[in-house]
Structure formats: structure tokens, C-alpha cells
Structure 1
Amino acid sequence: MATTIVSVINQKGGTGKTTTTINLGRALSKLGRKVLLVDLDPQSNLSYSLDITEPKFTLADAFTGTKKLKEILVQKDETFFVAPGSSELVDVEISLVTQDKRENFLKNILASVKGYDYILIDCPPSLSVLTLNALTAAHQVLIPLQMEVLTMQGLNQILTTVNKVKSSLNPRLQVKGIVVVMYDKRRKLSSEIESFLKDNIAEKIFESRIRLNVKLAEAPSFGQSILDYDPSSNGAQDYLALAKEFLK
């Protein structure tokens, strides 16, 4: 099976992007897939959430060419790996602006690793040069989305960017789907926005919804995915269901 590269994007912060990258990735690994998570966000929340607080090398070293990607990887178990991020990615992004073919750096970096079923990229919460690198490298885009009033505005911006990248840089790029996160069925607004989305956009909306769950918020404090921290929680069950639907 060839490696599938998935960019998890949302230009708004606090939308469950990092949570989804970690826990979907871990769920896929629990289902027998070999998974690599790439922390492309200079805030490196993904790395911190998996207890990678002081890595010897980071993704910035791969961008600058001082280390190969396989040299920076942190192995969590036999099927679950992480390419850690760092604040140095801010400097990387600044330097990329003046580089020729600056959107291809991550694609070339990821081409050097083999043997993974899925590579999931946690993108910065902005439509930046780093995010452009992620979209150019990816086969698919996954969009975590809260059911809030401003959802459609943000979603339209993301889809416009994806279409521009597809037409100019990466013709293979596809939207894998939209994941409803932080879902609260008690709120009428949640169901109203979800219905509006289904009626007005062509992209797939996953049936598996990620419910609001205290355990999901607790897990990063213990440096674990929700599937390792509390496998019986709603959060763990929701991400496992999403992973199964994702594989279909």
C-alpha cells in the first residue's frame, strides 16, 4: 500500500485540529496502520500533547537540511511515530519566502520516508507558507469544523485555498472530508449548522461526530492520545469510529 498524506487544516485556532490529528492518527495505528504525525505548527502543541517536550532534533532541522527526516523521528510504539515541531519553524517560514519553489520543501522531505500507511500533517492555524507546503505535499485534506456561526466563512476560505493549490501546484489534492468536532447535541445551533452544510456543500461530512468530552481536554496533560489515556471515554470511541469510517 502506498503512503497516503493527509493535511489536517483549519485557519482558525482552537478548532480541534491538533486533537484530531493526534487521535485519528492513534486510532489508525490501533487499527493496524503504520502512522507518522508531522507537527508543522510552530506552537508545537502536537509534540507537547504527546510528551515530546525537548526533542533532540525537530522538523526545522529537516527543513534546513541539517538532518534527514528519519533522523528526527520520535517513535511512540511500533506503529506510531512523530516528527516534532518547534518554535524554530517560524524562522523556517521566514526563510522560505525568498526560496525558489518554496512550496515544495515539505513534499521533498516526506518523499525520503517509506513504509508508512498514513502521514498526517498538523498544519498551523493560518493559511501560511508552511500550510501551503502541507497542501502541496498532501494527497488529501481533512477539515475539523465546529458547529459555530462563523463556520461557513472559514470553511469557504479553506475550500477556496484548496482549489487554488489543486489548480496551480498539486492536481492530485482532494478533500477527504469534514469532521464535526466539539459536538453538543443539546444545542439546536449544532444541528442547524450541520443541516445547512449538508444542503449547501458538496464535500463529504463524516457521520462520526466528535462529541464534547472532558477526557479529550485532559489527555494532553498526561502526554497521551485519548485512546491511551482513557480508551472507554466518548472521545476515544468517537475517534475510533472516525478512523474506521476514514478507512472505508
Structure 2
Amino acid sequence: MTIAVVNQKGGTGKTTSTINLGKSLEEKGKRVMLVDMDPQGSLGYSLGIVDKDKTIAELLYGEADLSEVIVSREGMDVIPSSVTLADVELSLVDAENREFRLKEILEQLTGYDYIFIDCPPSLSMLTVNALTASQYVLIPMLMEVLSLQGLDLISETLAKVKKSLNPELSVLGILPVMVDRRRKLSSEVFDHIQSNYDFKLFDTQIRPNVRASEAPSFGQSVITYSPGSNSANDYLELSEEFLKLV
């Protein structure tokens, strides 16, 4: 099962959620692959993967095999990214079957329970490739008013991809992140989404936590770095809810 973690806004916890939901599932005995489709390469960096010669960019160019690219971290396998991926996106504009390049690569993978794709903070050709390759979409989202405008754009993009490229695509849910439960605004945005959108909102809410911010500096998930922290507990709870849904 392949899940694209999507939000065109930056700073919404896509990479953090990809890593820590993946690690939480790995701790439950699931075999997990993480794919970084963001040219910034934050996912790989957050797991201590730096200066990798072969990345997702070389895979998309056809200049590397999966065996040359995959790196193991914390019991998970990772396909890292690099800044070269931005050049790949430009080259895809006129390429044949440009929307299906990632799908063709991931179809070579076997034995994984879950493949999570960390998408760039834009609704770009890289994101379209991720959506075309996935069965489900997970949307990490700040419970703020400006996020609602972005949600409309995501909805439009998902509808277009579903209609023309991937009819099996569906939204698993919206994940509220960095939620301060003392703020009335968070509850108001939460209620607005429930009333005006068909998307499921996860019951699990990810609280802001300094440990989650520190973990990438040590090249670790927060599950490994600070297993007793609020963030670790939130993502472990999320994994339980995730498994019930899928």
C-alpha cells in the first residue's frame, strides 16, 4: 500500500509525520519504505542520510538501480532525495508518460506493507507523480484559517488526478498537526472542516513538542530519540488509528 503525504504549504509537518508514522508502524512489525520526493531532501537529512551519490533523482533519470539507492534506517528502508530532483522535474515536463515515472519505479518494490511518499510543498509534477503512484493520500494540516485555502487547492488537484490518472486514489484523512488544544481557533477550524469537507479528520492530534524539533539534528525519528515524549506518544497513537482505517 502506497500513501502520499501531501500539503502544498511548507511547515505542515509532512516530513516529521512521514518518518514518525512510518517508524511507529515499523515498531508494530510492519515493513516500511519511505520515499523522499522533495528536492530539499529533508527526510533523508532527518534520518542522518547526507551526501548520497544515488538518489530518487537518478532513479527517475534511469541512471541508477533501486539497490544503489535504498538506505536502511531504524528498521525502515529509505529512498533519499537531493537538489538534483528539481532538475528532474524540469526534464519531466516534455517526457512521455511523465506522470507515471515514480509509479513504474515503485512497482519494482516487493515485500513492503506500507510505502510513504514525502511530497514537496507544492502541487507540482513531482507531487502528481506521487499521487499517481499512490492508493491513499494523507494530509498533515495546521488548524489555522489560512490552511483552509490550501485545502481547496489540494481538493482540486486530487479530483483532477483521480479523474485522469489514478481513479483508485482516495484521501485517508487530514492529520491535525502542531495542535495547541488551549486555542479556540484550532477547535473552530476543526469544526469547519468537519462541516464543509468530505475528508475524514483523524481523531489523533499531533501536539507541538520540542523533542520532535530536536530529533532531526540527531538523525533520528522522535520515536527513537525521545520515546516518552508527547510527539512519540501521539505518533504511536496515530499508527493505531491508521491501522484501523486501512
TM-score, structure 1 as length reference:
0.97
Paired AA for residue 44 in structure 1: G
Q: Tell me the CA shift for residue 67 of structure 1.
A: 1.2
**Residue matched to 1:99:** 95
Residue deviations 1:111-167 (CA, integer Å, cap 9, x gap) = 111000000000010010100100000000000000111121101110111111001
**Residue matched to 1:44:** 41
**Residue matched to 2:83:** 87
Are 2:36 and 1:57 aligned? no
- Tell me if the contact between 1:36 and 1:82 (Cα under 8 Å) persists in the aligned partners: yes
Distance 1:209 1:62 in 2: 35
Alignment of 1:136-147 (within 5 A): 136-147=132-143
Q: Tell me the CA shift for residue 71 of structure 1.
A: 2.4
**Residue matched to 1:120:** 116
- Which residue of 217, 220, 225 maps to 1:224? 220
**Residue matched to 2:182:** 186
Paired AA for residue 176 in structure 2: V
**Residue matched to 1:239:** 235
Distance 1:222 1:149 in 2: 33
Distance 1:119 1:160 in 2: 24
Are 2:144 and 1:148 aligned? yes
**Residue matched to 1:66:** 63
Segments of structure 2 that go 5 or more residues without pairing to the other structure are none
Distance 1:238 1:159 in 2: 26
Residue deviations 1:162-206 (CA, integer Å, cap 9, x gap) = 111001000010101000000001111011111111111111110
**Residue matched to 1:6:** 3
Identity between Structure 1 and Structure 2 (%): 55
- Which residue of 166, 171, 174 maps to 1:170? 166
The SS at the match of 2:73 is strand
Are 2:14 and 1:17 aligned? yes
**Residue matched to 2:128:** 132
The SS at the match of 1:115 is coil
Moved over 3 A (4+): none
- Tell me if the contact between 1:141 and 1:174 (Cα under 8 Å) persists in the aligned partners: yes
**Residue matched to 1:201:** 197
TM-score, structure 2 as length reference:
0.97
Distance 1:41 1:154 in 2: 18
Distance 2:160 2:185 in 1: 31
Q: Tell me the CA shift for residue 56 of structure 1.
A: 3.0
Distance 2:169 2:212 in 1: 30
**Residue matched to 2:27:** 30
- Tell me if the contact between 1:47 and 1:85 (Cα under 8 Å) persists in the aligned partners: yes
Paired AA for residue 53 in structure 1: V
Paired AA for residue 114 in structure 2: Y
- Tell me if the contact between 1:70 and 1:113 (Cα under 8 Å) persists in the aligned partners: no
Aligned-residue RMSD, C-alpha: 0.8
Distance 1:70 1:199 in 2: 46
- Tell me if the contact between 1:59 and 1:72 (Cα under 8 Å) persists in the aligned partners: yes
- Tell me if the contact between 1:69 and 1:110 (Cα under 8 Å) persists in the aligned partners: no
